[in-house]
Amino acid sequence: MSPADSVDQPIIRVEDFDLFYGGFQALLKVNMSIRPRQVTAIIGPSGCGKSTLLRSINRMNDLAGEVTTRGQIIIDKQPIYGKGINMVDLRKRVGMVFQRPNPFPLSIFENVAFGPRLHLGLSKTALREVVEKSLTGVGLWEEMKDRLYAPALSLTGEEQQRLCIARLIAVSPEVLLMDEPCSALDPIATDHIEELIRELKSQYTIVIVTHNMAQAARVSDETAYFYLGELIEMGQTEKIFTRPQKRATEDYITGRFG
Amino acid sequence: MKSVRRIWNRIVEFVIEKAIFLAGILSIVFVVLIFVFLLKEGLSLFKEYSPLAFLFGTKWYPISHPPSFGIVPLLLGSVVVTLGSIVIAVPLGVGAAIYVGEVAPVWLREILKATVEFLAAIPSIVLGFIGLVTLVPLVKQVFHLQTGLTAISGSIMLAFMAMPTIVSMMEDALRAVPSSYRYGAIALGATRWQTIWRVMLPAASSGMLAAVMLGIGRVIGETMAVMMITGNAAGIPTSLMQPVRTMTATIAAEMGEAVQGSDHYFSLFAIGIVLFIITFAINLTAAFFINRRSKA
Ligand SMILES: Nc1ncnc2c1ncn2[C@@H]1O[C@H](COP(=O)(O)OP(=O)(O)OP(=O)(O)O)[C@@H](O)[C@H]1O
Ligand SMILES: [Mg+2]
Residue A195 CA, ligand 2 centroid: distance in Å: 22
Domains in chain B, number = 2
What mean pLDDT is predicted for residues B91-111? 91
A118 touches chain B (CB under 8 A): yes
CATH for B221: 1.10.3720.10
Nearest to A105 by CA among A145, A163, A171, A158: A163
Cβ(B166)–Cβ(B217) under 8 Å?
Answer: no
Nearest C-alpha of chain B: how many angstroms from A127? 16
> Which H/E stretch holds residue A144?
helix A141-144
Q: Ligand 1, atom 1: nearest CA belongs to which residue? A: A64
What stretches of B57-149 show up as alpha helix (H) in DSSP? 72-98, 106-121, 124-130, 136-142
Same domain, B97 and B189: yes
Q: Is the pTM of this model over 0.90?
A: no
Same domain, B36 and B78: no
Residue A76 CA, ligand 2 centroid: distance in Å: 25
Same domain, B157 and B203: yes
A-interface mutation test, from B180, B188, B196, B293, most A Cβ less than 10 A away: B188
Residue B132 domain boundaries: 55-295
Same domain, B25 and B61: no
ipTM of the complex: 0.89
Superfamily name and number for A12-100+175-253:
P-loop containing nucleotide triphosphate hydrolases (3.40.50.300)
What pLDDT shows up at residue A1?
40
What pLDDT shows up at residue B120?
84
At B260, phi and psi to the nearest 5?
-60, 130
What pLDDT shows up at residue B293?
64
List, as ranges, residues 158-187 from A with C-beta within 8 Å of B: 164, 167-168, 171
B295 — pLDDT class (breaks 50, 70, 90):
low
Same domain, B143 and B241: yes
pLDDT in tens, chain A (258 residues): 444 444 568 999 999 999 999 999 999 999 999 999 999 999 999 999 999 999 999 999 988 888 999 999 999 989 999 888 899 999 999 999 999 999 999 999 999 999 999 998 889 999 999 999 999 999 999 999 999 999 999 999 999 999 999 999 999 999 999 999 999 899 999 999 999 999 999 999 999 999 999 999 999 999 999 999 999 999 999 999 999 998 888 888 887 665
- Which positions in chain B touch A64 (Cβ < 8 Å)? none
Same domain, B156 and B31: no
Same domain, B187 and B107: yes
Nearest to A198 by CA among A225, A231, A165, A173: A165
Mean pLDDT score across all residues of chain B: 91
Q: Ligand 1, atom 5: nearest CA belongs to which residue? A: A21
Q: Is the pLDDT of residue B233 over 90?
A: no
Same domain, B61 and B43: no
In chain A, what are the domain boundaries? Answer: 12-100+175-253
Query: Could you tell me the CA-to-CA distances from A37 to A163, A198, A199 in Å, in that order?
Result: 21, 10, 11
Pick the atom of ligand 1 nearest to A54's CA.
18
Cβ(B159)–Cβ(B212) under 8 Å?
Answer: no
The pLDDT tens digits of the residues spanning B147-191 come to 989 999 999 999 988 999 999 999 999 999 999 999 999 999 999
Query: With an 8 Å Cβ cutoff, are A63 and B184 in contact?
Result: no
In sequence order, what E strands does A65-217 have?
67-75, 78-79, 94-97, 175-179, 205-209
B292 — pLDDT class (breaks 50, 70, 90):
confident
Same domain, B202 and B105: yes
Residue A44 CA, ligand 2 centroid: distance in Å: 10
> Which H/E stretch holds residue A40?
strand A39-43
Same domain, B170 and B237: yes
Same domain, B139 and B286: yes
Same domain, B21 and B80: no
Residues in chain A: 258
